[in-house]
Structure 1
Amino acid sequence: MENPAEEEAVGVGFDGARAAVLVAGLRRGFASGRTRSYEWRAAQLKGIVRMIDDKEAEIMAALHDDLAKPHMESYLHEISLAKAACTFALKEMKRWMKPEKVPTSITTFPSSAEIVSEPVGVVLVISAWNYPFLLSIDPVIGAIAAGNAVALKPSEVAPATSSLFATILPKYTDNSCVKVVEGSIPETTALLEQKWDKIFYTGNGKVGRIVMTAAAKHLTPVALELGGKCPVLVDSNVNVKVATKRIAVGKWGCNNGQACVAPDYILTTKSFAPTLVDAMKKTLEKFYGKDPLESPDLSRIVNAKHFRRLTSLLDDEKVSGTIVYGGQQDEKHLKIAPTLLLDVPHDSLIMKEEIFGPLLPIITFNEVEDCLDFINSKAKPLAAYLFTKDKRLEERFVKTVSAGGMLINDTALHLANPHLPFGGVGESGIGAYHGKFSFDSFSHKKAVLSRGFGGEAPARYPPYTPQKQKILRGLINGSIIALLLAILGWPRG
């Protein structure tokens, strides 16, 4: 039976003391051992699948309340991906849980060795507001698949989805080992004061540093899924019609640019820029009409604070006169039209910080090589995109550009492949997840070496002699003769 104090901990007045009660309850649940069994893990994941099926309409309504997200986008980018992550884990989990047999060395002969995946324990997931359903439940799926007890802190910036999680997740999962904590900075701070076995945070670098600082107090490992300015290099050797459609859907079809993998800026050559800009304009008008502020297929900006942040980027005097398409704003409905800017100054605010919205600068250089140099002069992005038919350029891009992940001739789709890790590098994040990488992220890989009582090698024991040292040196260097002598027990004593 649930402890009433634990129930109260996730309600009103959540503070450090109640956070400690919540963590203690999760630790009791984990210590009972039930989260380690395949049956428990599978039951929770099946419950999440049922939750998604049963509550699809409520999930879509919450996403629309929070972001005016189109239903098609809600289904494609959140609901279907969350369900796919869960069903993939259910299909593969038994295989993931099996110990991995590994070779042994001559120095441990005779022996067997394996790597055992064990749950790290009690974990905290702090999620983001831009994909508030997917980015909350996807790490939770990984934590459960790995056998952990988990607390989920949804983003308060998406209050409808946060409230929905608090209401429905306990009805479909084991509430003693899976908890939801609502709230804002005070509640998150209270949670970060506790000792966790892992913290998984999705968001921005500023808060990521706060999470790492708090985790350092307890030497708690962290996974940070951050962002960055994701570049798109467009070569002149492309199908420009297809390229602009894929760039546009990756930018404005992903939450109106409010996505960590959305293209942040385009790089191309000066000679090709007019062709690219003209094609982008035609694509955007086809997608969102002549008055994009009226389009039902564009999400709104999440709140007034972020709306003002984005409009301030356009108000920067350094970008004056660079808008070549869009720029319309509707503050009342928190809408900003898809906006193209050509050759904004490199030191402008829009090129210094992650845009996270519907504004897309296009920067031009004389040569493609200059574009590569520009990308590599910046912080490592979460994603990097290249459009080209030139295989040599593709090879050079993959070899020389460091990014969390990359796509050739498309945007954003790499995160939908559960066989690929999704995560950042450097400023764009620490660690990776999706598919087995989620399971691994919440697992400790325990080394297990097993030996019987035979096969003694007296040479390893004192008193040490020159002869024993010779045998041990031979063993370390892989000598078959030394191995045979060791098996025969020589030298004696």
Structure 2
Amino acid sequence: MIQTETERTSSSTNISYDLLFRKQQAQMLVTGNSSAKTRIEKLNRLLKAVRETYRTQIQEALYKDFGKPHTETDLTEIYPIVKEIKHTRKHLHRWMRKQRVETPLTLMGTSSWYRYESKGVCLILSPWNFPLNLTFGPLVSAIAAGNTVILKPSEMTPHIAGVMQKIIEDLYREEEIAMVQGDADTAKALLDLPFNHIFFTGSPGIGKKVMAAAAKNLSSVTLELGGKSPVIVDESANLKVAAKRIAWGKYMNAGQICVSPDYLLIHHSAKADFLKLIEIEVQKFFTSNPKSSGSYSRIVNQRHYDRLMEHLEDAEEKNGVTRFGGKSDAAENYISPTVIEDLPEDASLMQEEIFGPVLPVKTYKELEEVIAYINSKERPLALYIYSRRKKNINKILGETRAGSSCINSNVLQYANQNLPFGGVNNSGIGKSNGIYGFREFSNQRAVLKQYNRGIIQLLFPPYTSWKQKIAIITLKWF
């Protein structure tokens, strides 16, 4: 059923999404034909805004939204945008050049190439856990590819959403880049529009709804989802190093990270030592009282706090053993860094993506157990391996599937602009970062130019016996 312009207008605003969409649609070819210099100038404006003009406001907003320490904001929200822009500026001229391809002998007399052209009007639906990074990161790629863009940030982090709105309105004309605020109804109204591309970051459940909506208009999609990302520690691993890096990857942003280690699979002989070491590392990071350390975030809101507390209550009912942590304060949406072991498989912590500061621990004896367990579940966004045995590392990489992996580290794969970032199946579709994000927002348009009659014209009708002989020779030798 086609909605009218009035029906698609948000009940909380006077913005006509249809009108905004049509403005960007009218502009898209002009923007799409813009030069690398023009696109870089747009990126430079964004770079100055996040690194200088609005940096203090960004820090304060994220602290208000979920207690994010200012240093963590600099490192995990602002710096990734700065780095993405610098990387894109450096390479954009080369990315935009036409890419020549070889000409087969049967097409002698022609030349072929492909060019990256903008997809058109794009929609970016971003999440709340890294609201600046995961809104402006895809935007960098969309600008680089020459698109017009409508952004819709999460309503769960209203303070930073307000700052981003100011940035967008200050830097860009709405017919090129605009931001729309609102809840799930707003997102649904936007998804009714025939965007040329939709970039969504969030849960697999919502990702399915986004993909279903996109299918109605045959819009292409990039889905950056999540899932339960395992971390494996074998008997050869450097346990002190593993404990420090896993504690950092798991408890940064209070575990509200799509690539956070979701659960630990550790060799039974290493478990006791590892659990002592990770508790020591957590205290080094956040002191014995993370709540007052000044380096530890809060859960984004009461709904997600309640969700995590239900997980912890379920774990207690199912006789899970809390090795450390488990402390909470509803008034501050605070849950301390927590490690739980001996959970049965039907515990909710073992079934659902945790997205919080709780690390379930399972032991194993043979590596085949680990591989079978991981392969029995949906393909994860990330899979982490701590090992000093090349044979074990290669076996895990070869016999499992995941969107990305780190060896003897975690989370850092996202930080390399030369690597594609994204999931597979339940954990996502498509890739981002650097040239991969540029390609995601671009169409590879194939072009073939014919200069003379060429060999292929020898096989045009009418089909004589002589041409049949040529066809047979072509099938055999070309």
Task: State the TM-score, normalizing by the size of structure 1.
Answer: 0.92
Give 1:104 deviation, angstroms. Answer: 1.2
5+ residue gaps, structure 1, are 1-7, 480-493
Cα distance change of structure 1 residues 341 and 456 upon mapping to structure 2, 3 Å threshold: closer
SS at match of 2:377: coil
CA RMSD of aligned residues (A): 1.9
1:116 maps to 115
- 2:49–2:167 Cα contact (<8 Å) kept: yes
The Cα of 1:217 is off from its aligned counterpart by 0.6
Amino acid at match of 1:291: N
How far apart are the structure 2 equivalents of 1:22 and 1:431? 27
1:482 maps to which residue? none
Native 8 Å contact 2:262 2:359 kept in 1: yes
- Tell me what 1:299 maps to: 297
User: Does the 8 Å CA contact 2:319/2:342 hold for their aligned counterparts?
Assistant: no
Q: Secondary structure at the match of 2:254?
A: helix
State the match for 1:486 in structure 2: none
Deviation at 1:175, TM superposition (A): 3.1
Contact residue 50 and residue 172 of structure 1 kept, 8 A = no
Percent pairwise identity:
37
Structure 2 residue identity aligned to 1:393: N
Find out whether 1:31 has 2:29 as its counterpart: yes
How far off is 1:13 after superposition?
4.2
- State the partner residue of 2:38: 40
Query: Could you tell me which residue of structure 1 aligns to residue 244 of structure 2?
Result: 245
What is the aligned partner in structure 1 of residue 362 from structure 2? 363
Change (3 A) 1:50 1:57: same
CA distance in structure 1 between the aligned counterparts of 2:65 and 2:477, rounded to whole angstroms: 64
Structure 1 Cα separation of the partners of residues 417 and 357 of structure 2: 28
Say if 1:231 and 1:264, in contact at 8 Å, map to a contact too: yes
Structure 1 residue 173: Cα displacement: 2.7
- Residue of structure 2 in register with 1:308 after alignment: 306
**In structure 2, do the counterparts of structure 1 residues 477 and 328 end up closer, same or farther at CA, with 3 Å as the change threshold?**
same
Contact 1:67 1:301 in 2 (8 A): yes
Structure label with greater radius of gyration = 1
CA contact (8 A) 1:15 1:187 kept: no
| Stretch moving more, 243-252 or 280-289 | 280-289
Aligned length: 471
* 1:173-198 alpha-carbon deviations (Å, 9 max, x no partner): 34320011011112111101100000
| SS of structure 2 residue aligned to 1:423 | coil
Q: Secondary structure at the match of 2:331?
A: coil
CA distance in 2, matches of 1:281, 1:450: 65
Between the aligned partners of 2:109 and 2:296, the Cα distance in structure 1 is: 64
Larger deviation: 96-105 or 127-136? 96-105
Structure 2 partner of 1:56: 55
Contact kept? 2:256, 2:357, Cα under 8 Å: yes
Partner of 2:64: 65
Deviations along 1:158-186, whole A, 9 cap, x unmatched?
11111111112121234320011011112
- Please tell me whether the aligned partners of residues 404 and 425 of structure 1 are also in contact (alpha carbons under 8 angstroms): yes
Q: 1:35: how far off?
A: 5.2
Alpha carbons of structure 1 residues 131 and 248: separation in structure 2 relative to 1, 3 Å: same
Shift of 1:474: 2.3
CA positional deviation for 1:307: 0.3
Q: How big is each residue's C-alpha offset from its partner over 1:371-417, in whole Å with a ceiling of 9 and x where there is no partner? A: 22211111110000000000100111111110000000000001000
1:461–1:182 Cα change, 3 Å: same
Q: Structure 1: how far apart are the matches of 2:7 and 2:41?
A: 25
SS at match of 2:332: coil
Match of 1:288 among 282, 286, 289: 286
**Counterparts of residues 164-203 of structure 1 (less than 5 Å):** 164-203=163-202
**Structure 1 residue 16, shift from structure 2 partner:** 11
AA of the residue aligned to 1:55: Y
**Structure 2 unaligned runs (5+)?**
1-5
Instruction: Check 1:321–1:122 CA distance in 2 against 1; reply closer, same or farther (3 A cut).
Output: closer
- Partners of 1:65 and 1:160 within 8 A in 2: yes
Residue 293 of structure 1 contacts residue 328 of structure 1 at CA under 8 Å; is this kept in 2?
A: no
Q: What is the SS of the residue equivalent to 2:426?
A: helix
Aligned to 2:125: 126
- SS of the aligned residue for 1:141 comes to helix
Q: Secondary structure at the match of 1:407?
A: strand
Deviates more, 1:308-317 or 1:124-133: 308-317
Q: Secondary structure of the residue that 2:406 maps to in structure 1?
A: strand
**Secondary structure in structure 2 of the residue aligned to 1:422:** coil
Instruction: State whether structure 2 residue 274 is matched by structure 1 residue 276.
Output: yes
